[in-house]
A = this chain, B = another copy of it.
Amino acid sequence: MTKAITSALNVGELAAGQVLSVPLFTFKGTDNRAPTVYVQANVHGAEVQGNAVIYQLMTLLENCHVLGDIVFAPLANPLGINQKSGEFTLGRFDPITGVNWNREYLDHKIDIAAWYKQHQDLPNDELIKSFKATLTEACHTKLQQPWGITTGHRLAVNLQSLAHSADIVLDLHTGPKSCKHLYCPEYDMDSAKFFSIPYSLIIPNSFGGAMDEAAFCPWWQLTEYAASQGRHFDVPVAAFTLELASQERIDMADALVDAKGIMAYLSHRGVIQEAVQPAKMPRYACYLKDYKKFHAPQSGMVEYCAKVGEPLLAGNTLVNILRLDLYGSDKACTSLSLDKDCVPILHFASASVHQGTELYKVMTNVFEFPC
């Protein structure tokens, strides 16, 4: 039986003096050639199910032969998780500045050409080690800025520093009211078939601010640049964001399903010795450019008619919008639909919306992954 080693990461302090710290649990691997893993959950305060998945994963790993080091950071946003406003958790953004906690990671903006020129004589393993050091050092420099850094940067860059030391990075999120979906970089599409997740978004090589992008973008850029110089190797780092259904929900049985999907991926990558088969299930995807946000064209009370995770034909009702103040007119109840086929992936959490609220995110031009 393998036991996790417990530690903690200091990520700030609150006005009344409390230290903000993230609990860390490390499973030491027995083979230092095996890939290393970093898994975090709950960076958005209301997105708690990742903690349950980490709980199930750690329970499973206790009975495994772990080859590569695995670090778990559940409860990764100790400020956001405790931030209530009314009954719900207001943990999506810094309550002072409004900045999304998930948009505070460091954009390295490395001059890849210059870096490569300087290090091109290194063999592959040294090149990778050196690039990893460059990324980690940039995080440390950011944390030591003489004029200080924001609360959000301190949290994010501390986590990012941990992530950069791993070969595999998993960031566990949820949607508002959502089906499960995976953010998967285009170069790594084959990995999507290991997770127990029916829908994947295929994302390009550009930094949008999230942890997965912070983790893989520099490596993808390096790999592409090296290839342009005639040197070919696989992108050395894999990073995914898993959206594990809806926020404000803990479901231990469903967490086990997702833990097993992650185990199948870790098994495939040689992080654990045991062979774990992925779930047999159809898996679908679309490119990020085909992932559409539908904003409320009018305000009102919303009946969400389209189910997340189920295909919706063009013209079928997406929502009904009630406007009781207009009762007696033809605007008292309005049905809205889209003019193309889609799969609704998530919808807004509340049943009342202002004009312009993001009502649904839907996949269009969906295709099935070959098994």
Beyond A82-B354, A350-B46, A351-B249, whether A17 also contacts B325 by CB under 8 A is yes
Chain B CB within 10 Å, residue with most, of A58, A148, A352: A352
Cβ contact within 8 Å between A52 and B301? yes
Cβ contact within 8 Å between A295 and B82? no
Cβ contact within 8 Å between A299 and B13? yes
Chain B binder among A91-99, A131-139, A280-288:
A91-99
Q: Which residues of B contact A355 (CB under 8 A)?
A: 12-14, 20, 151, 154
Closest-by-CB residue of B relative to A49 is: B351
A89: Cβ under 8 A from any B Cβ = yes
Option from B55, B176, B322 in Cβ contact (under 8 Å) with A322: B55
A115: Cβ under 8 A from any B Cβ = no
Cβ contact within 8 Å between B81 and A352? yes
Stoichiometry, as copies per complex, reads 4
Q: Which residues of B contact A323 (CB under 8 A)?
A: 17
1/0 per position for A51-67, CB-CB distance to B under 8 A?
A: 11011001000000000
Cβ contact within 8 Å between B14 and A328? no
Assembly CA distance A102 to B304 (angstroms): 28
Q: Which residues of B contact A320 (CB under 8 A)?
A: 250, 252
Cβ contact within 8 Å between B23 and A324? yes
Assembly CA distance A90 to B88 (angstroms): 9
With A14-B355, A54-B324, A87-B348 given, name 8 new contacts (CB 8 A): A13-B354, A48-B301, A52-B303, A79-B354, A86-B96, A249-B351, A250-B302, A250-B351
Provide 20 A-B residue pairs closer than 8 Å at the C-beta atoms, listed in order of the A residue. A14-B81, A15-B82, A15-B89, A17-B325, A20-B355, A25-B328, A46-B351, A79-B354, A85-B86, A87-B92, A87-B176, A93-B97, A96-B354, A98-B98, A98-B100, A147-B293, A147-B295, A148-B295, A154-B355, A252-B303
